[in-house]
């Protein structure tokens, strides 16, 4: 069986098995690792850029284009895109470390990988 450490909206502990989202209790993970998985999920959620949630103009092509440009210009002006890339790399490193820790706790019966 495969276990993926992967963030998604509202994923909780960021664990996915063959049947979809799950939690560490199913695999007997330690409380500390489960807490770290939840913290990882919270950190990923906090790093979602605001334009992802800005759907006020869905279906209105001209306004959607304007909003997309507004965020792009703001990102260029403030350097937010560059910071998001650095944050993404840090989250990738944390996710890979969490996958390694999950693998150590579940043993060879499972294959654990990080998926971004």
Residue-number span of the structural domain to which 39 is assigned: 2-114
**Sheet containing strand 15-17, strands side by side:** 20-22, 15-17, 2-5, 111-114
Decide if 99 contacts 114 (C-beta within 8 A). Answer: yes
Chain segment 68-91, per-residue pLDDT in tens: 888 888 888 888 878 888 888 999
Report the C-alpha gap between 66 and 92 in whole angstroms: 31
For the chain, what is the domain count?
1
Chain segment 32-70, per-residue pLDDT in tens: 999 999 999 999 888 877 776 677 777 878 888 888 888
């Amino acid at each position: 069986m495969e276990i993926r450490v992967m963030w998604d909206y509202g994923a909780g502990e960021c664990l996915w098995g063959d049947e979809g989202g799950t939690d560490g209790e199913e695999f007997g993970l330690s409380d500390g690792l489960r807490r770290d998985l939840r913290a990882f999920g919270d950190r990923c959620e906090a790093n979602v850029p605001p334009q992802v949630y800005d759907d006020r103009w869905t279906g209105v092509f001209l306004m959607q284009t304007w909003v997309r440009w507004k965020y792009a210009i703001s990102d260029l002006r403030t350097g937010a895109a560059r910071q998001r890339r650095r944050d993404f790399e840090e989250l990738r490193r944390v996710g890979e470390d969490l996958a390694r820790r999950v693998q150590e706790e579940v043993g060879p019966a499972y294959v654990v990988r990080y998926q971004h």
